[in-house]
Amino acid sequence: MTIVLLFFKPNPSAPAPIYLQLMNQVKHAVEVGALKSGDQLPGIRNLAESLVVNPNTVAKAYRELEHEGVIDLRHGAGAFVKSRSAAGGKVLAAMPLVTGLVDRLKSRGLSEDEVRRLFEAALIQQEETARRR
């Protein structure tokens, strides 16, 4: 079964390249369990036409997803979700932690936007610390 509806139209004017947006959509679907091991992704041509994006871009997203171990590309047969990766499980398991923290921050009167910026700032800070080492 291949479901094109799993994908929403990428935003071409967003700064993130379209192939990354597509990759994130697949990863998200795998993480939340909407896509399961063995599920088939839409064909490159089919997906490119329905999202009206470049087929090369879809192919690139699939190649990278295979590289990251999320899907299997079987020549001539198509793209299939691999058994749910350990990474996916870890992410789901961490969800309650984050939900709890977000709740606490909100109860202190922080807006969603402020919470989002805090998370991003924390990530950037860690990135830079790591870089300096």
Partner 1 sequence: MNQFAIQTHALTKSYGRAEAVRSLNLEVPDGSICGFLGKNGAGKSTTIKMLLGICWPTSGAGTVLGASIRDARASLEARRRIGFVSEDKRLYHYMSVGQMICFTRSFYPRWRDALEQQLLRQFQLPLERKTGQLSKGMRTKLALLLALCRGADLLILDEPTEGLDPVAVEEVLQLLARAAADGATIFFSSHQIAEVEQIADRVAIIDDGRMLLQESLDDLKERYRRIQLLFDREAPWKPLDVRGIAAARAEGPAVSLLASGNIDEIVAAARSLDPVSLEVAQVNLKEIFLECVRRN
Among 23, 26, 53, 71, binds partner 1 (CB under 8 A): 53
Which one of 6, 25, 55, 72 is in contact with partner 1 (CB under 8 A)? 55
Contact 39, 30 (CB under 8 A): no
Measured CA to CA in angstroms, residue 82 lies from 32, 51, 102, 115 at distances of 14, 24, 31, 34
Contact between 16 and partner 1 by CB under 8 A: the answer reads: yes
For tokens 């369990």, name the residue.
33
- Determine the Cα–Cα distance for residues 123 and 133; give it in Å rounded to an integer: 16
Question: What string marks each residue from 85 to 114 as x (binds partner 1 by CB under 8 A) or -?
Answer: ------------------------------
45 binds partner 1, rule: CB under 8 A: yes
Residue with tokens 């870890």: 90
Residues of this chain that interact with partner 1 (CB under 8 A) are: 12-19, 44-45, 48-49, 52-57, 60, 124, 131
